[in-house]
A and B are shown apart, each in its own frame.
Chain A
């Protein structure tokens, strides 16, 4: 157990639907990062939050949004889902800026059918 908890582990949904992925960071970590892993795109950085505020944004689609709550857990919302959104979504956390590397959760496998 890495200390970073992601739920659910698996999710199957239909095109056009909306889903929410949840991440609880390791105790004491203020930063949360979201990554998407797919076969064709590899590991893509989506977004980073630090202590409730958006810190950096990567290749995140407009259909996707995220937030970090006062208790530091984070949610990634994916809407108007397309087949191409099927991927493994990782959350990671770090104490501060993550310069020393950070801890990943076990991921959420999203399948859009």
Chain B
């Protein structure tokens, strides 16, 4: 069964600093997708970044980047130049490379950003 594990229930970072959120997953599939979603206090689930497993290059979206280690089944999110607006719950998610679009979510990491 697919499982996603986020081992850090809470993290904190100083404004303008860099923080890395960890995620590991378990799968027997060779082709799949990985995501980081952000859930601020507004409760809205917002897609932060996406990585296709067949791509070796790590995805980057402005201040957000991932370190995708396929063999280790690790998918960490790095937030550079942290801003107060980055404070949120971050969820790692996995999607099989098939016609089924369901996401398997981790339990989340609550990120606090200090001024």
Contact = CB atoms under 8 A, between A and B. Distances in A.
B101 A102 contact: yes
A79 B49 CA distance: 36
Given A99-B33, A106-B42, A45 B47 contact: no
Nearest to B105: A43
Contacts of B107: 42
Contact of A101 (B35, B44, B99, B104): B35
A94 B105 contact: no
A2 B44 contact: yes
A56 B100 contact: yes
B43 A106 contact: yes
Contacts of B44: 2, 104, 106-107
A99 B42 contact: no
Contact of B43 (A33, A55, A88, A99): A88
A94 B95 CA distance: 13
Given A45-B102, A94-B101, A101 B95 contact: yes
Nearest to A102: B101
25 contacts: A31-B101, A33-B103, A42-B107, A42-B108, A43-B91, A45-B102, A45-B103, A55-B99, A90-B45, A92-B45, A96-B101, A97-B98, A98-B101, A98-B102, A99-B33, A99-B97, A99-B98, A99-B101, A100-B50, A101-B35, A101-B50, A104-B37, A104-B44, A107-B43, A107-B45
